Structure 1
């Protein structure tokens, strides 16, 4: 996945948000605007080319001075699907970009 392609699809509202991502978004107080902003300034932190559910990636970005992680992939019509979104923190993350030992992908 390429960050520029993801940004372009987000910019033109060619994305959907999974039910799981919606639950996480509300739990973490992440707005749609936060999600879009984090992608617009973010970078791909991890690429999951061999994921059994299809190619996906982890984007690390910021909004409202908070780090935000977004896992996304493609839908069957090549839109972006937001799989999950969260604020990186212990026990899975040591800091914004560093997984804790045993922090699963």
Structure 2
């Protein structure tokens, strides 16, 4: 839906959330299942929040960064409108350093030289730091595998993980050749 002032679209977005006319991305589901954020905190942020930024993408259209509060806790939600007038919640997180100076302001980027190798997240433009992931979930042909101690890039803003092509090949090769170091109990939930 088009608005003369796109920052006023928050009322339209909030109305969709009130009516449960929204979808949640897998990325947000990961944060929910890890206990990093709760669905009511996301809803509160949208219902009582305001649009901080509007992002335009040539093929995906516009998305909105909303700041709201659940109690006193600041929550950022990035959402977009689908083709059938639903809202899709793409990301939800608690704003923090180093990306956010405070809930309302991004940290000022440092001086970037031509040789700057800083990586940024494709999805949210947050800074990527190199880490070792304790557990990395990987699916191949419907089977779940847990890979330990994977070198990866972690987006400090939205939590998206990136692994190198060589690491992906190594993981895939070890799974295909059944080189396992052990098994773990996995909890399975059935949604009915």
Q: TM-score, normalised by structure 1?
A: 0.89
2:98 alignment counterpart:
91
Question: 1:22-33 to 2 correspondence within 5 Å?
Answer: 22-27=29-34, 29-33=36-40
Q: 1:9 to 1:35 in 2, by over 3 A?
A: same
**Which secondary structure state, in structure 2, belongs to the residue aligned with residue 73 of structure 1?**
strand
8 Å contact kept, 1:57–1:71: yes
1:14 alignment counterpart:
21
Q: 1:66 to 1:28 in 2, by over 3 A?
A: farther
* Cα distance per residue 1:33-85 (max 9 Å; x no partner): 1111111110000012x223111110000003110000000122110000000
Distance 1:25 1:47 in 2: 24
Residue 82 (1) aligns with residue 96 (2) = no
In terms of fraction of residues, the more helix-rich structure is 1
Is there any run of 5+ residues in structure 2 with no aligned partner, and where? 1-5, 110-119, 127-192
Distance 1:79 1:14 in 2: 6
8 Å contact kept, 1:3–1:43: yes
Question: 1:66-81 to 2 correspondence within 5 Å?
Answer: 66-81=73-88
Distance 1:62 1:37 in 2: 7
Distance 2:100 2:66 in 1: 14
**Which secondary structure state, in structure 2, belongs to the residue aligned with residue 101 of structure 1?**
coil
Distance 1:67 1:95 in 2: 9
Residue 37 (1) aligns with residue 44 (2) = yes
1:55 alignment counterpart:
62
2:11 alignment counterpart:
4
Is there any run of 5+ residues in structure 1 with no aligned partner, and where? none
**Which secondary structure state, in structure 2, belongs to the residue aligned with residue 36 of structure 1?**
helix
Distance 1:41 1:3 in 2: 9
Give the aligned length.
104
- Cα-Cα RMSD: 1.8
